[in-house]
Amino acid sequence: MGRLLQFIAFMFVARHVFLALSRWLGGTAKQQVGGRSPSDGLAKPIYRGQMVRDPVCGVFVPRERAIEERKDGEVQHFCSENCRQAFQVSTT
């Protein structure tokens, strides 16, 4: 019985050490976001880059994925080609 409890305690500690190291090294262990794990479908993805807002639909898009357009010396960022075209039509 004593060996079984030692084995269970060892496995518990080993699991938590593995999870801590995985998170610290940026591994694939489940990360908690707002008390929920990403696998339950309710967590929002975390993006750490700069976000820009589409002036047509109001959606925030990562800057490197946005479609840029310069008009009158000002840069506008769009989430899609459709929003860019709608902006062009509305400003002409």
At residue 29, the pLDDT reads: 45
Where exactly are the structural domains of the chain?
1-44, 47-92
Instruction: Find the mean pLDDT for residues 69-91.
Output: 90
Q: Which two tokens stand for residue 32?
A: 């908690």
At residue 78, the pLDDT reads: 95
Q: Say yes or no: domain 47-92 is CATH 2.30.170.
A: yes
At residue 20, the pLDDT reads: 83
pLDDT in tens, 19-78: 888 887 765 545 544 455 555 555 566 677 899 999 999 999 999 999 999 888 899 999
Res. 8 pLDDT band, cuts 50 70 90: very high
Query: What are the residues whose beta carbons fall under 8 Å from the beta carbon of 22, sequence distance 6 or more?
Result: 28, 29
